[in-house]
Structure 1
Amino acid sequence: MARSIWTGVVSFGLVSVPVKVYSATQDHDVHFHQFQEGTGDRIRNKRVNERTGREVDYSDIVKGAEVSDGNYVMLDADELDAVAPGRSRSLDIHTFVEQSEIDPIYYQKTYFLGPGSDETVRTYALLRDAMADADRVAIGTLVMRGKEYLAAIRPDKDLLVLETMFFADEIRDPAKELDAVPKRAKPDKKELQVAVQLIDSMTAPWKPEEFRDTYTDRVHELIEAKAEGNEVTVSDEAPTATKAIDLLEALRASVEAASKRRGGKTATTSKAAPKKKAAAATKKSATKKAPAKKAQAKKTAAAKKRAPAKKTAA
């Protein structure tokens, strides 16, 4: 069973909910060691005093912050711990918001939030169910691993999930980072129509298990091939950029290819088809039912003529 990486309480109003934080994700990257080329000699990183050239023990290292050119203020671990707000072990909820209001760029990493103990399951479930009924996400702050985080807590089925977030001043301004930000322009109507059709034809339910890290798979294949002395197959080149004059044709060809993969019908065609069939079926049914009503009316009229007239009492 996984170990929690943070324990504390979630506080909102006068209510405190003991919780434990667990990692929700894991990477599957290939981890490499460093060697000197042409040898089997490992490369090691050492902490070396740049003046004396001697190696320094980790316990003898302190942190320094530059305050002016070449001048530093030295801080040791105890001094940093003294000002760290994490001693309170509290995740304070400041507000509740609608999840649609949060730009995904603010999300950093996902964690599972579990009850602090068996005795606190009831208060944990109360917070989870109240947030689910209100359809809200809690926004708060916590200190974890020596860093303060903005955090979002959201209900997810039986669990609460915590998303660490970037602060607003950590989000870069694209206007300052990009060479040029494309301005909004009125697109060609035909190109836009075919582009939307292409998106429709490629639309499908979200199934994350259908996607794999194919690059890491190929790295593993490369390692196995070299270990066995086999030749390495070269991957395909990256596609070249589509020229503006070829855009419409490229879009149409893409729609046709997507249509073939889906059995010859685009998403727009398959959506419209059932409506037409239903309308035709209704019309046909109505046509068949009409003569039946007329025949029934004729039978009723004939029966009335044949029926003997009732005698009235004298």
Structure 2
Amino acid sequence: MLHVRSIWNGAISFGLVSIPIKLVNATENRSISFRQIHTEDGGRIRYRKVCELEDREVTQAEIGKGYEDADGTIIPITDEDLSHLPLPTAKTIEIVAFVPADRIDPLQMDSAYYLAAGGAPAAKPYTLLREALKRSQKVAIAKYALRGRERLGMLRVVEDAIAMHGLLWPDEVRAPEGVAPDTHVTVNDKELDLADALMDTLGEIELDELHDAYREALEEVVAAKAAGEAPPETPEPAKAGKVLDLMAALENSVRAAKVSRGEEPAEPKAAAQVRRLPERKTSRAAPKQAAGKKSTATKKTAAKKTASAKKSTAKTAQGAKKTAAKSTAKKTTAKKTTAKKATPRKRTA
């Protein structure tokens, strides 16, 4: 941080407390930039500032500011005109409120800066503000002036430092009108469950593990050209299949995420188009054999039960026949007895 040049010097106004600070950039642009050249001889192409009326190049000292009116008229604005503007935050970051961090819409986030303490006298009040922000679990909303205009900022704690995010003014954030689909769509629970499964499968990641693969490939191309070698061949990206079914796309996405994490074996060939996955089998070869044996045993048990039932039925039938025969015999005997009793006896004189 000691080697980073400050872009603004001023103070934080915290009530009646003033904290001298230096504003330094918290981010840096790592992208590779190119120069425009003449393709025939490699000469640099430069832009020159030319006055349209005199048709000649002018120096920086001759250039000023002007506001173009609706009819195209240019109204000159001097630095003296701007110096009379009521800008109390010209050299001050004025804290106006403390709010919960979730009150800030991420759409308002702009450039990020670190606020470095301006010398030893600033150490005590700087630490006081930092610890107060930590304990309150809030962020500070402030106004400050930078590059000729007043801006809105948010102060928060990052490790042992105070960072400030430039914020867009609320009226600079557009409403999302006309952005969402205007077609009525219904999402069912099964689709949401698959989306949740995909989110769980992808899981979390450490942001430090992410890197700019495009910039690295571009550096390889530049290095190869500088060494007089052919640039490396870049493999063509896999063509995405046409989404025919949202459910199938979600299922395939979950499967692909699990394969990438080694949770499932990769399929031999990927389908050209998105299709429904086949139903998963709940058992393998060994369980199938066991199931077969079990089925055979069940059949044998059923056969035994059937034979037993037949024997029981036969026994029951035989018993019924014997009972019926005994009953018939008893009835016959009863009839004979009744007949004997009904025969009149001869009386003797």
TM-score between both structures, scaled by the size of structure 1: 0.76
Determine the C-alpha separation between the residues in 2 that align with 1:210 and 1:182. 38
Take 1:54 and 1:164, find their aligned partners in 2: how far apart are those partners? 39
Per the alignment, residue 203 of structure 1 pairs with: 203
2:261 matches 1:259 = no
Distance in 1 of aligned mates of 2:117 and 2:258? 49
Name the residue aligned to 1:171: 173
* Native 8 Å contact 2:140 2:155 kept in 1: yes
* Contact 1:198/1:254, CA 8 A, preserved across alignment: yes
- Do the aligned residues in 2 keep the contact of 1:17 with 1:120 (CA within 8 Å)? yes
The alpha-carbon distance between structure 1 residues 259 and 87, as it changes in their structure 2 partners (threshold 3 A), is closer
Native 8 Å contact 1:175 1:181 kept in 2: no
> TM-score when scaled to structure 2?
0.69
Larger mean Cα displacement after TM superposition, 225-234 or 69-78 = 225-234
Match of 1:34 in 2: 36
Rg: which structure is higher? 2
Residue 51 of structure 1, CA deviation = 2.6
Q: Structure 1 residue 109: deviation in Å? A: 1.3
Pairing 1:233-252 to 2, within 5 Å after superposition: 233-237=233-237, 239-240=239-240, 242-243=242-243, 245-252=244-251
Which one of the candidate residues 157, 160, 163 is aligned to 1:161? 163
Q: Secondary structure in 1 aligned to 2:199?
A: helix
Q: 2:126 aligns with which of 124, 127, 130?
A: 124
SS at match of 1:175: coil
Segments of structure 1 that go 5 or more residues without pairing to the other structure are 266-314
Structure 2 distance, partners of 1:25, 1:69, is: 40
Identity %: 33
Q: Sort the Cα spacing of 1:184 and 1:121 in 2 relative to 1 into closer, same or farther, 3 A.
A: farther
Which of 101, 104, 126 in structure 2 is aligned with 1:102?
104
Shift of 1:76: 2.4
Aligned mates of 1:150, 1:45 — CA distance in 2: 34
1-structure distance, mates of 2:33, 2:20: 36
- CA deviation vs aligned residue, 1:56-82 (integer Å, no higher than 9, x gap): 111111211122412221012343344
- Which whole-Å deviations, capped at 9, do the CAs of 1:97-119 have from their partners, x for residues lacking one? 11011111111111111212111
Q: Quick one: distance in 2 between partners of 1:250 and 1:260?
A: 15
Higher relative contact order (CA 8 A, sep 6+): 1
Kindly state the Cα deviation for residue 255 of structure 1 after the two structures are TM-superposed: 1.2
Q: Out of 83, 89, 92, which is 1:90 matched to?
A: 92
Length, aligned pairs only: 261
Q: Shift of residue 87 of structure 1?
A: 6.9
Give the match's secondary structure for 2:51: coil
Rounded to whole Å, the distance in 1 between the matches of 2:149 and 2:209 is 35
Aligned to 2:142: 140
Residue 273 (structure 2) aligns with:
none
Separation in structure 1 between the aligned mates of residue 168 and residue 111 of structure 2, nearest angstrom: 10
1:148 and 1:203 map into 2 onto residues whose CA distance is 42
| Structure 2 unaligned blocks of 5 or more | 265-349
Change (3 A) 1:250 1:257: same
CA distance in 2, matches of 1:238, 1:73: 55
Instruction: Note closer, same or farther for the CA distance 1:10–1:191 as it changes in structure 2 (3 Å cut).
Output: same
